[in-house]
Chains A and B, each alone.
Chain A
Amino acid sequence: MTRLGRNAENLAVFRTAVLFAAFMLLAQINGGVQEYQAGVLVAGSRLYWLRLTYAVYCASLFILLLTHGRRLSARPLRLMPLFLVAPAFIVSWIAHGIYTQRRFHYAPFWGYKLGFLLLSLAPGPGVLVNGALIAALTLEALILWFFAGVRESQIGNITNEPWITLLLAVAAMLILYFQNAYRRMSQQLGELTVRQHVLESLTRLSMIIRDKINTPLQVLELCFGHLARDATTAVACKSLEKIEEIVRPLHEFDTLIDWDQREFPSEAALVKQLREDLQKDEVKFQLRSTRWSKAPGVPWST
Chain B
Amino acid sequence: MPGIYVPESERVSILVLDDDESLREILGICLEASGRCIVQPMASFQELERCFHDFGNVIAAVLDINLGPGDPTGIDAYHWLRSRGFSGRVIFLTGHATSHPLVREAQ
A210 to chain B, nearest CB (A): 8
Whole-angstrom distance between the alpha carbons of A207 and B97 in the complex? 7
A226 touches B26 (CB 8 A): yes
Within 8 A of A (CB), among B63-107: 66, 68-70, 73, 93-102
A55-63, A125-133, A230-238, A259-267: which lies at the interface: A259-267
A216 touches B33 (CB 8 A): no
Given contacts A226-B26, A226-B33, contact A264 B102 (CB under 8 A): yes
The interface centre, meaning the residue of B22, B23, B96, B101 with most chain A CB atoms within 10 A of its CB, is B96
Given contacts A219-B23, A222-B30, contact A212 B95 (CB under 8 A): yes
Tally the A-B contacts, defined by beta carbons under 8 Å.
Answer: 60
Whole-angstrom distance between the alpha carbons of A233 and B69 in the complex? 34
Find chain A residues with CB under 8 A from B22 CB: 215-216, 219
Interface of A is mostly: helix
* Chain B, interface residues (CB within 8 Å), range: 20 to 34
Whole-angstrom distance between the alpha carbons of A211 and B33 in the complex? 28
B65 to chain A, nearest CB (A): 8
Interface residue A301 (Cβ < 8 Å from any Cβ of B): no
Within 8 A of B (CB), among A252-289: 254-255, 257, 259, 262-266, 269
Find chain B residues with CB under 8 A from A213 CB: 95
Within 8 A of A (CB), among B26-83: 26-27, 29-30, 33, 66, 68-70, 73
A259 touches B101 (CB 8 A): yes
* Chain A, interface residues (CB within 8 Å), range: 20 to 34
Whole-angstrom distance between the alpha carbons of A43 and B70 in the complex? 81
Whole-angstrom distance between the alpha carbons of A255 and B101 in the complex? 11
Candidates A223, A254, A269; contact of B69 at CB < 8 Å: A269
Whole-angstrom distance between the alpha carbons of A215 and B96 in the complex? 9
Whole-angstrom distance between the alpha carbons of A251 and B101 in the complex? 15
Find chain B residues with CB under 8 A from A207 CB: 97
The interface centre, meaning the residue of B33, B69, B93, B101 with most chain A CB atoms within 10 A of its CB, is B69
Find chain A residues with CB under 8 A from B69 CB: 263-266, 269
B35 to chain A, nearest CB (A): 14
A257 touches B99 (CB 8 A): yes
Find chain A residues with CB under 8 A from B70 CB: 263, 266
Find chain B residues with CB under 8 A from A225 CB: 30
Whole-angstrom distance between the alpha carbons of A213 and B69 in the complex? 16
Given contacts A211-B95, A211-B97, A259-B97, contact A222 B27 (CB under 8 A): yes
Contact digits for B1-42, partner A, Cβ 8 Å, 1 yes 0 no = 000000000000000000010110011011001000000000
B74 to chain A, nearest CB (A): 11
Within 8 A of B (CB), among A188-230: 207, 211-219, 222-223, 225-226
Given contacts A226-B33, A264-B66, A265-B69, contact A218 B101 (CB under 8 A): no
Candidates A218, A226, A255; contact of B29 at CB < 8 Å: A226
Tell me the A residues contacting B by CB distance below 8 Å.
207, 211-219, 222-223, 225-226, 251, 254-255, 257, 259, 262-266, 269
